[in-house]
Amino acid sequence: MAPNYNLCLWNVEKAPKHLFTYAATAHKDNLNISNISFSPFDHTVIGTFGKGIGKLLRYSDGLIRPMSMTLRRDNANFISSAWLSDERCIVGTDGGEILLIENFEFRTVIYPCGNENEDMVPVFSLTATGRGFCMGTAHGEIRVFEKADENKEQYSLQAVYVLPNETSNV
């Protein structure tokens, strides 16, 4: 519970074994961690994200230590994340932003909308693809982003798919 939270690391490969507990104190009472992800490229790197904060941690020598990257956005609620490579992670907010972290540093904000006049939608889920990533939003909508050829830091919206409503009468 904010302002304190614990991250417990378990090894469940053979028999459940508690490895370590990382106790952290947030700087504000309204910070809550809601999304945790391990890098599939470096199993010692852990991303913790929530309301107003994102941190990267590293597990080594039986300890979990914070890395130098701390992502703070006072009004943002980070609700999804995905690792694109060993050096790139994206984080989605309930306000419709996607933030790019590269080499453990914040790089840029990727807006999931096709243009500036479009309403922002929450980024409920993110998953990496071969050329970029997919984003799941409200109302069964999936947006596909790919790397821009001219600027490797930028991703552009390539397609929007809307899943059919499954609640219709048969």
Q: Report pLDDT digits (tens) over 88-141.
A: 999 999 988 899 998 888 888 887 765 566 778 899 999 999 999 999 988 888
Of residues 153 and 61, the one with the higher pLDDT is 61
Residue predicted with more confidence, 40 or 2: 40
Say how far apart CA 154 and CA 75 lie, in whole Å. 24
Mean pLDDT, rounded, for 55-60: 86
11 band by pLDDT with thresholds 50, 70 and 90: confident
Q: What is the pTM of this model?
A: 0.80
Question: Do 54 and 71 contact (CB within 8 A), yes or no?
Answer: yes
Average pLDDT, the chain: 81
pLDDT score for 170: 42
Q: Which residues pair with 18 in a beta bridge?
A: 10
Q: Which two tokens stand for residue 52?
A: 């107003």
Q: Token pair of 75, please? A: 């009004």
Model confidence band, residue 146 (pLDDT cutoffs 50, 70, 90): very high
CA–CA distance, 112 with 4 (Å, rounded to integer): 32
